[in-house]
Structure 1
Amino acid sequence: MGRCCRCNGRLLCMCLLPCMMTGHLLVYILVSIFVTISYAPPKITVHYVAPGVSVNSSAMASHPLGPFWNLRLEDSALWNRLQHAWDRQHNPILRGNTTGKMSKTKERRLSQIEEGCLSDCMSHKCSVPRMDDLNSLPEQIRAFIKSMHCREYPLLINQPGMCRSNNSNLRSMDSPMLLMAIKSQVGNFENRQAIRETWGRSGVVKGESKIKSGLVRTVFLLGRQDSSTGPHPDLKNLLELENQKYGDILQWDFRDSFFNLTLKDLLFWNWLEQHCPTALFVFKGDDDVLVRTDVLVDYLHKQLEEHNLWRAYTNETDINLFVGDVINNAMPNRDPSTKYYIPESFYKGVYPPYAGGGGVVYSVSLALRLKKVSERVRLFPIDDVYLGMCLHRLGLSPAHHPGFLTFDLPHTERGNPCAYGPVLLVHRRTPKEMLTLWKQLQNVPGQC
């Protein structure tokens, strides 16, 4: 009887063993599924989120929903179509394994055939195919589309010696620490003069701390008067007299319109590479802003110190600085009544991160890289967005600085000099306001 019980126990164990193994396997599977479902990727710390035109209704712009450069062709939008063609042309994998290098002349001709543009850029006679609603668009966007393949214009007024000094005592300071490149128009003499007398004065500028200083040079970027906006008095002779006195005008032979501001960036980069490549930093801005140049000089010295510390570990010689008031995940303005209007037939998608309104600061080493990469990015009507596009192509993003007040201080604080303590840039100021505020700011440390 005892022997029979021992046999039955062994049999029971053998029967239960597969059930127990199956149970354990089931528990393992359930735990694995639960862990997979409940896993969340680590959160990335957001250092800043700037206000802007966002795809959602919140007050702050969210992160981009996807990559800006998309291989999927937006075949109904002209800019996307042309950029897609360039992406394929400059991608050796998509283009195919071709032997030998294509000449620049042949490459340019192929690009023009692709666009349907074979005319002389200066004649402004260019037709763009496959855009049925071209005639229904506002004049400024039509004019841009017809000449968006043009990137080279004659320089009417040049300053080749801007970054050289004839004073033997300043040989070590020939190269500016900061080059102010101000976008202006022929008729804005009052704005330029106010800048010369305040924050844009050329020479050695002491930082706010009075400990460090830097050589600052200022140039004004101009095009040709836009006669299409109405009759204007001929200011050519006055501009020549202004240039003779101050020697700080750069003028190119293209129509100076809002949608041609992007040209000023491209043409300025060409000039910078040729005449002032040894400068360290560039401020690029409008002629209706006020910059606290002394505070900016201190900020740039700090950036140089940090770069030199990192350089000891990374051997990185170039400074990839690009700072301003950053706008993330902005959408094109689709309101035809605004000057920022971008029709859907021209561009589709979300803008890349960009520094908007008034002014930005970037290193000259980065400016020369932007010049190079811009050769593979189609011109875009809004200059701030175009800079963001070029940065994105370099794998970089603009850095946000709260001192760039492109949307100005609260109205109640604008007349209080003490409120400008941490400010680097404020937008907008009339020439009279600029002169008044600048005088007040010189005594801020003692008052506050």
Structure 2
Amino acid sequence: MGRCCKCNGRLLCMCLLPCMMTGHLLVYIMVSIFVTISYTPPKITTHFIASGISTNSSNLASHPVGPFWNLRLEDSALWNRLQHAWDRQHNPILRGNTTWITGERKVKLLSEIEDECSSDCISHKCSLPRMHDFNSLPDQMRAFIMAMHCREYPLLINQPGICKRNRSSFGFDSPMLLMAIKSQVGNFENRQAIRETWGRSGLVEGESNKKGGLVRTVFLLGRQDSSTGPHPDLKNLLELENKKYGDILHWDFRDTFFNLTLKDLLFWHWLQEYCPTAMFVFKGDDDVFVRTGALLDYLQKQWDEHNLVKAITNKTDLDLFVGQVIYNAMPNREPSTKYYIPDRFYKGGYPSYAGGGGVVYSGSLALRLKEVSEKVRLFPIDDVYLGMCLHRLGLSPSHHPGFLTFDLPESDRGSPCAYRSVLLVHRRRPKEILTLWKQLQSLPGHC
């Protein structure tokens, strides 16, 4: 410092420069230490989700208690064995091994297992690995197991041009929203109520944003299930219905509860071929009620936000999957229920999934779900299977409080005002759908 004081002019400035830089460095270090000490992580907003079995609150479900996708083999459960084989087959590190040892038992790879299955999915001649007490299982579980290797079925009624129909007159290249409604051959009244109300095809306005969008609706049907008893022949009526409305997709497989998963798979294949540019897909049952205009408003907002993010991050795919989310659910082990899943078929918990009454997801995600489903064994519960496919993509469903797959509180069901914040409600009979639709067209001003 004494030397610096003896300097003058330019020499003085050159001598003082190191001193000033050292001072600035000390200030930077002190500020960094202060910021580090005083930093607190941002508060994460907890959204409402449907209650799970480990819930400590009536409003909030806890986080999943453990990872769903268990790489450890559950050798006594058929689905786990088959999925474990598939996981190894699709794992590039383990793909070279044809067999592996678990305890003292040798487990076959998927390719060996499926070599024993006949390609004839109609007769269900398939020799799957042995399952303890197979004959004691309920009929629907036995039928599912015998056909769970089958993923391709003939399309009896198709709508190859439905996403291109009249598109020039509306000025749209593809639908903003494709409604895929799971129905059955005999549910004529349900389909007609939907066509006349919330599932009407064409240009639909939003409720708050009049922009709206082009909506197309298709109904997903299988073959009448002969195992439930004799049914009247409705083939001619179905053909007349399709001739008039042109919105039926009909496949040649038994339309049972455990085969609802097939409707997802077959629909995704159809979507990829005939409507791959649909912006969003709604998949629901034919006994739900949807406020389509409000749903379009919500989807338009999601699309606008995605475009803003895309401009910054260049991320092209919109990973949107919305419904009423259920965490920490476990298989139903009660044999008398239609959801019964025996532990000798499946062991473990369920992934986070959205209730199957109605969900909405982006069109680009639908195509990714189609691809990943080829690596996930068919599961009898369709909404759980969707959760499995999402999990394999590294995604989780998003909860929206407007999706009420378990209905409104009973005291509110008769009040039109109670539906102002609802996007979907389950269940409603055809007459209730028509009545509610009419009421919501002119909600009272005090709502």
- TM-score where L is the length of structure 2: 0.85
How far has the Cα of 1:347 moved from its partner? Answer: 0.5
Amino acid at match of 1:321: L
| 2:217 aligned with 1:218 | yes
- How far apart, CA to CA, are the structure 2 residues paired with 1:112 and 1:273? 30
* Secondary structure of the corresponding residue to residue 198 of structure 2: coil
What pairs up with 1:70-109 in 2 under 5 angstroms? Answer: 70-96=70-96
The one-letter code of the counterpart of 1:83 is Q
The correspondence of residues 233-248 of structure 1 with structure 2, limited to 5 A, is 233-248=232-247
Determine if contact 1:219/1:250 at 8 Å carries over to the other structure. Answer: yes
Q: Would the alpha carbon gap of residues 213 and 57 (structure 1) be closer, same or farther in structure 2, given more than 3 Å must change?
A: closer
Could you tell me how far 1:57 is from its partner in structure 2?
Answer: 7.2
Q: How far apart in 2 are the matches of 1:286 and 1:336?
A: 24
My pick for the range that moved more, 109-118 or 327-336, is 109-118
The equivalent of 1:387 in structure 2 is: 386
Cross-structure match for 2:150: 150
Q: Deviation of residue 80 (structure 1)?
A: 0.5
Structure 2 contact 329–351 (Cα < 8 Å) conserved: yes
CA contact (8 A) 1:178 1:283 kept: yes
The separation in 2 between residues aligned to 1:151 and 1:114, in whole angstroms, is 13
Instruction: Give the drift of 1:97.
Output: 8.6
Listed one character per residue, the Cα deviations across residues 204-224 of structure 1 (whole Å, up to 9, x for unaligned) are: 110001532100000000000
Counterpart contact for 2:406–2:425, Cα < 8 Å: yes
CA distance in 2 between counterparts of 1:327 and 1:47 reads: 14
2:64 is matched with which residue? 64
**Could you say what secondary structure the match of 2:181 adopts?**
strand
Q: Give the match's secondary structure for 1:375.
A: helix
Q: Match for 2:183: what amino acid?
A: S
Q: CA separation in 2, counterparts of 1:340 and 1:390?
A: 19
Aligned residue for 2:276, secondary structure, equals coil
Moved >4 Å (runs of 4+): 41-44, 55-60
When residues 125 and 431 of structure 1 are mapped into structure 2, their CA distance, relative to the original with a 3 A threshold, is same
What's the % identity of the aligned pairs?
78
- The equivalences for 1:364-379 within 5 A come to 364-379=363-378
Counterpart in the other structure of 1:261: 260
In the other structure, the counterpart of 1:134 is 134
Quick one: distance in 2 between partners of 1:254 and 1:284? 19
* Structure in which a larger fraction of residues adopt helix: 1
Of 305-314 and 112-121, deviating more is 112-121
Task: Tell me the equivalent position of 2:197.
Answer: 198
For 2:327 and 2:203, locate their aligned partners in 1 and report how far apart those are by CA, in whole Å.
Answer: 36
2:117 match: secondary structure: coil
Matched position secondary structure for 2:303: helix
Unmatched 5+ stretches in structure 1: 1-40, 99-108
**1:218 match: secondary structure:** strand
Residue 162, structure 1, aligned to residue 165, structure 2: no
Distance 1:228 1:444, change over 3 A: same
Q: For 1:444, give the aligned amino acid.
A: L
- Aligned match of 2:322: 323
Q: Let me know the Cα RMSD of the aligned residues.
A: 2.0
1:40-51 aligned at under 5 Å gives the runs 45=44, 47-51=46-50
TM-score (norm 1): 0.85
In structure 2, what residue type is equivalent to 1:344?
A: D
- Code of the residue aligned with 2:83 in structure 1: it is Q
Question: What residue is the counterpart of 1:310 in the other structure?
Answer: 309
Q: 1:166 to 1:416 in 2, by over 3 A?
A: closer
Q: What is the alpha-carbon distance in structure 1 between the residues aligned to residue 69 and residue 417 of structure 2?
A: 44
Q: Distance in 2 between matches of 1:434 and 1:193?
A: 10
Counterpart of 2:405 in structure 1 is 406
Query: In 1, distance between residues paired with 2:273 and 2:418?
Result: 40
Amino acid of the structure 2 residue aligned with 1:235: L
Preserved contact between residue 165 and residue 174 of structure 1 (Cα < 8 Å): no
Give per-residue Cα distances to partners, 1:53-102, cap 9 Å, x unaligned: 5146764532212211121111111000000000001101112399xxxx
Answer yes or no: is the 8 Å Cα contact 1:290–1:434 preserved in 2.
yes
The Cα of 1:114 is off from its aligned counterpart by: 4.8
Q: Tell me what 2:297 maps to.
A: 298
Asked if residue 272 in structure 1 is aligned to residue 271 in structure 2, the reply is yes
Displacement after TM superposition at 1:313 (Å): 1.1
Structure 1 distance, partners of 2:85, 2:407, is 40
Aligned partner of 1:287 in structure 2 is 286
Count of residue correspondences: 397
1:424 and 2:423 matched = yes
Deviation at 1:46, TM superposition (A): 5.7
Look up the SS of the partner of 2:217 in the other structure: strand
Supply the distance in 2 between the matched residues of 1:438 and 1:426 (Cα, whole angstroms). Answer: 12
Could you tell me how far apart the structure 1 residues matched to 2:43 and 2:77 are? 34
Equivalent residues of 1:55, 1:331 under 8 A apart:
no
Q: What SS does structure 1 have at the residue aligned with 2:87?
A: helix
Contact 1:332–1:350, Cα closer than 8 Å, also in 2: yes
After superposition, the C-alpha distances for 1:344-390 in whole angstroms (9 at most, x for unaligned) are: 00001110000013100000100000000000000000000000000
Alignment pair present for 1:332 and 2:334: no
- 2:214 is paired with a residue whose SS is strand
Confirm or deny: 8 A CA contact 1:49 1:328 kept in the other structure.
no
Deviation at 1:439, TM superposition (A): 0.3
